[in-house]
């Protein structure tokens, strides 16, 4: 029997998909002018927010702006660690105005925001786990932003190279099962090995020998785009295999359907920015 897993309450920042749409294609999941059911996207998003609140987490929201159809993907707007905010600089011009909108929210909430010089897509590519900040590159966030993040947070950055355009952000290929805040030795991740180059895969094996490995099926179902509170794992309902493996490790999967948002290449984690005190 695995040890009982302990949940830590989180503070999340989200953005309602009121203007969600697929009008441009900046990743392989997106098809220009795909019909989108905004009401369904809203329903699915509300069920995510409800699930967080039902599990004792705090959820705040940024007001969505028309003409920013991807603004629902709050994870890309920043990384917050130790109450310090590293803002974003998007690769795609269509998303660039999102940075200022989120920055304003953080300023109004009493945070200073450090603006990165290089392309930096927030928690999409920067994932704090244990003593490290895991940092993806290859499609979006630039290696120069990894160096900026290390300098800003004073946390060792571990660069990881993504190899498959379907998994263009680190958070589509890996998530922190246990972020190690309470017990650094417990830090652990789940990931899809084939999304990484051989060298980066070897780094993950070395750092996390006990990681949960996902199959292609789990990854295609956006199962790695999950949020764990240390006990509950908010996970795509379609990622059955991964949910089962997590349950065997003592985690409690909370399956949620965000299929409408997947038309833009996003899922649960993409919709969730964590504000770490
Ligand atoms: N359409 C968005 C983009 O391609 C999706 C972002 C998903 N966010 C994430 N954290 N993976 O930029």
CB neighbours (10 Å) of residue 37? 12
Question: In this predicted model, what pLDDT tens digit does every residue of 175-219 receive, in sequence order?
Answer: 999 999 888 889 999 999 999 999 999 999 999 999 999 999 999
pLDDT for the residue 33: 83
User: Residue 85 has what pLDDT?
Assistant: 98
Q: Over 90: is that where the pLDDT of 235 sits?
A: yes
Nearest CA to ligand 1 atom 8: 270
Percent of the chain whose predicted confidence (pLDDT) is above 70:
99
Which of 69, 72, 73, 136 has most ligand 1 atoms within 8 Å of CB, for mutation? 73
Euclidean distance between CA atoms 59 and 46, whole angstroms: 11
pLDDT at residue number 268: 98
> How far apart are the two ends of the chain, measured CA to CA in Å?
32
Decide if the complex's ipTM is over 0.85: yes
- The overall average pLDDT reported for the chain is 97
In the prediction, which pLDDT does 35 show?
95
Please state, in angstroms and rounded to a whole number, the distance separating the CA atoms of residues 44 and 64: 16
State if residue 227 touches ligand 1 by the CB under 6 angstroms criterion: no
Would you place residue 1 in the very low, low, confident or very high pLDDT band (cuts 50, 70, 90)?
A: low
* DSSP-assigned states of every residue in 218-260: HHHTTTTS-EE-SSEEEEETT-HHHHHHHHHTT-EEEEE--HH
The answer on pLDDT for 224 being more than 90 is yes
pLDDT at position 2 is 64
Task: Specify whether 55 is catalytic.
Answer: no
Q: What is the pLDDT of residue 111?
A: 98
CATH of 11-274, one of 3.75.10.10, 3.30.70.270, 3.40.228.10, 3.40.190.10: 3.75.10.10
pLDDT value at residue 86 = 98
Q: Categorize the per-residue pLDDT at 4 as very low, low, confident or very high, splitting at 50, 70 and 90.
A: confident
Q: Where are the domains of the chain?
A: 11-274
Residue 169 Cβ contacting ligand 1 at under 6 Å: yes
What percentage of the chain exceeds 90 in pLDDT?
96
The model's confidence at residue 266, banded by pLDDT at 50, 70 and 90, is very high
Whether pLDDT at 275 is above 70: yes
Ligand 1 geometric centre to CA of 266 (Å): 5
**pTM score of the predicted model:** 0.98
169 classed as catalytic: yes
For range 9-24, the mean pLDDT = 97
What is the mean pLDDT of the segment spanning 54-68?
98
Ligand 1, atom 1, residue with closest C-alpha: 264
pLDDT score for 182: 84
Q: For residue range 134-168, list pLDDT tens digits in order.
A: 999 999 999 999 999 999 999 999 999 999 999 99
What is the average per-residue pLDDT within 226-251?
98
What is the Å distance from ligand 1's center to 219 Cα? 15
* 26 CA from centroid of ligand 1 (Å): 9
Of residues 25 and 184, the one with the higher pLDDT is: 25
Please report which residue ranges of the chain form alpha helices under DSSP H.
38-54, 98-108, 143-153, 198-207, 216-220, 240-248, 259-262
94 CB less than 6 Å from ligand 1? Answer: no
Residue 237 has pLDDT above 70, yes or no: yes
- Give the model's pLDDT for residue 184: 84
Give the C-alpha separation, 31 to 222, whole Å.
17
């Amino acid at each position: 029997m695995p040890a009982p897993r302990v949940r830590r309450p989180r503070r999340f920042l989200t953005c309602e998909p009121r203007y969600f749409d697929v009008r441009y294609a900046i990743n392989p999941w997106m098809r220009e002018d795909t019909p989108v059911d905004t009401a369904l996207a809203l329903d699915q998003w509300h069920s995510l927010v409800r699930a967080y609140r039902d599990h004792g987490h705090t959820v705040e929201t940024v007001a969505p702006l028309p003409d920013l159809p991807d603004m629902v993907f709050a994870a890309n707007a920043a990384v917050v660690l130790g109450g310090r905010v590293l803002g974003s600089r998007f690769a795609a011009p269509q998303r660039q105005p999102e940075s200022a909108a989120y920055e304003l929210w953080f300023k109004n909430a009493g945070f200073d925001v450090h603006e990165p010089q290089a392309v930096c897509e927030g928690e999409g590519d920067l994932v704090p786990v244990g003593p490290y900040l895991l940092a993806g590159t290859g499609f979006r966030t630039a290696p120069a932003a990894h160096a900026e993040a290390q300098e800003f947070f004073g946390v060792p950055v571990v660069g990881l190279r993504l190899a498959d355009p379907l998994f263009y952000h680190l958070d589509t290929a890996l998530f922190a099962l246990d972020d190690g805040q309470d017990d650094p030795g417990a830090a652990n991740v789940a990931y899809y090995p084939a999304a990484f180059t051989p060298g980066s895969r070897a780094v993950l094996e070395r750092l996390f020998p006990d990681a949960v490995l996902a199959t292609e099926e789990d990854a295609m179902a956006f199962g790695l785009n999950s949020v764990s509170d240390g006990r509950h794992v908010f996970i795509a309902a379609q990622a059955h295999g991964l949910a089962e493996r997590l349950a065997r490790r003592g985690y409690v999967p909370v399956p949620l359907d965000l299929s409408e948002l997947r038309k833009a290449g996003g899922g649960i984690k993409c919709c969730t920015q964590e504000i770490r005190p």
